[in-house]
């Protein structure tokens, strides 16, 4: 059986589940916001160290030993009806629930895509750049700083042609309205406020000219590449996510074997079996690594380019490796 750990609004999980249903492959979906109100768990550890455990997921009892593969997607914190508990009780329940699930994930046998501990270790952009460079991939000059002086030096040394992007959270809640933070060019107007970096560590990189952008999805040893023609849309030139994916031309791309193998090596260096890598293809034909999302989105790629069969590869990986575990 395949266990899918996610949430109710995860469109990518829906996409894969349709394929599992089509193939008549047994699975169960664990929407973590429903734990513990709608999902029960029991974990018993004997004095000998033997473990017995099960989930009851919407009434379906699943023994831990029945689970062969786990796809860890987009878990969320528990949610409760308003006024069911006061704030302090909710905080306690959420903390204990998260801790319980973390314990189970470390105990649960099976093949993971990918284990949460491995995902967390792979999420640091600064470390990704170092690993990628050591593997022979080209990376942009990068500065993470709270020093206005250091930022001014970096800005001047790169001919005042640098970009800013967030390291972790790309959105800000402003009185209930979510503002997205995109990769942006640093202008002369921004330079007047360089002193503000003392309030938050900020990541800056040299601005890399783009011919297009590549989204490279690694599934096991297989590599799927789509070319995103971001420079054809003025809104998307600095960050293709500013435009809707349907407004951008997507085409399958034949990535050079050497670059593809380095991408696989990068994902495997974090003990992962999946990774979504963003690269710039420059006008001169260079491939510049930007980052790897160890749990990135991919369903939109198949919608834009149906011939890129990431879903099939992921299902086959979950089945084949799960049978070996």
**pLDDT digit string, tens, across residues 248-291:** 999 999 999 999 999 999 999 999 999 999 999 999 999 999 99
Instruction: Give DSSP secondary structure letters for 184-210.
Output: EE--HHHHTTGGGGGGS-EEEEEPPP-
Task: Give me the residue spans of the domains in the chain.
Answer: 2-109, 141-206, 209-307
Is the predicted pLDDT of residue 242 greater than 90, yes or no? no
**pLDDT digit string, tens, across residues 77-86:** 988 877 788 8
pLDDT band at 175 (very low <50, low <70, confident <90, very high): low
CATH topology for the 141-206 domain: Dna Ligase; domain 1 (3.30.1490)
Is the predicted pLDDT of residue 177 greater than 70, yes or no? no
| Span of 33-37, 179-183, 187-191 with lowest mean pLDDT | 179-183
Predicted confidence at residue 86, as pLDDT, reads 86
Closest Cα partner for 129 from 291, 294, 293? 291
* Token digits of residue 318: 């979950």
Predicted confidence at residue 81, as pLDDT, reads 79
CA 177 vs CA 160, 173, 180, 244: distances in Å: 32, 6, 10, 19
- The answer to whether the pTM exceeds 0.75 is yes
Over range 132-157, report the average pLDDT: 97
| Span of 158-172, 251-265, 295-309 with lowest mean pLDDT | 158-172
User: Which CATH architecture describes the domain 209-307?
Assistant: 2-Layer Sandwich (3.30)
């Amino acid at each position: 059986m395949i266990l899918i750990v996610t949430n109710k609004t995860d469109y990518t999980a829906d996409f894969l589940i349709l394929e599992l249903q089509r193939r008549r492959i047994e699975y169960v979906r664990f929407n973590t916001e429903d734990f513990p109100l709608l999902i029960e768990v029991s974990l018993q550890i004997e004095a000998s160290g033997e473990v017995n455990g099960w989930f009851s997921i919407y009434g379906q009892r699943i023994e831990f030993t029945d689970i062969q593969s786990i796809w860890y997607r987009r878990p969320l914190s528990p949610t409760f009806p308003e006024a069911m508990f006061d704030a302090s009780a909710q905080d306690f329940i959420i903390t204990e629930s998260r801790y319980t699930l973390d314990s189970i994930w470390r105990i649960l046998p099976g093949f993971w895509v990918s284990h949460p501990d491995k995902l967390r270790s792979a999420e640091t952009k600064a470390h990704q750049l170092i690993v990628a460079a050591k593997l022979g991939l080209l990376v942009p000059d990068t500065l993470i700083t709270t020093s206005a002086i250091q930022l001014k030096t970096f800005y001047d040394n790169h001919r005042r042609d640098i970009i800013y992007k967030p390291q972790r959270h790309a959105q800000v809640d402003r009185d209930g309205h979510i503002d997205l933070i995109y990769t942006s060019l640093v202008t002369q107007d921004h330079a007047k406020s360089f002193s503000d970096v003392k309030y938050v560590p900020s990541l800056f990189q040299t601005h890399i000219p783009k011919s297009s952008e590549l989204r490279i999805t690694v599934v096991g040893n297989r590599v799927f590449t789509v070319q995103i023609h971001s420079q054809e849309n003025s809104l998307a030139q600095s960050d293709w996510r500013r435009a809707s994916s349907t407004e951008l031309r997507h085409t399958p791309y034949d990535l050079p074997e050497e670059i593809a193998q380095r991408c696989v090596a990068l994902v495997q260096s974090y003990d992962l079996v999946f990774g979504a890598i963003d690269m710039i293809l420059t006008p001169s034909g260079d491939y510049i690594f930007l980052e790897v999302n160890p749990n990135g989105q991919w369903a939109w790629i198949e919608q834009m380019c149906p011939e890129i069969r990431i879903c099939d590869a992921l299902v086959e990986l979950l089945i084949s490796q799960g049978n070996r575990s």
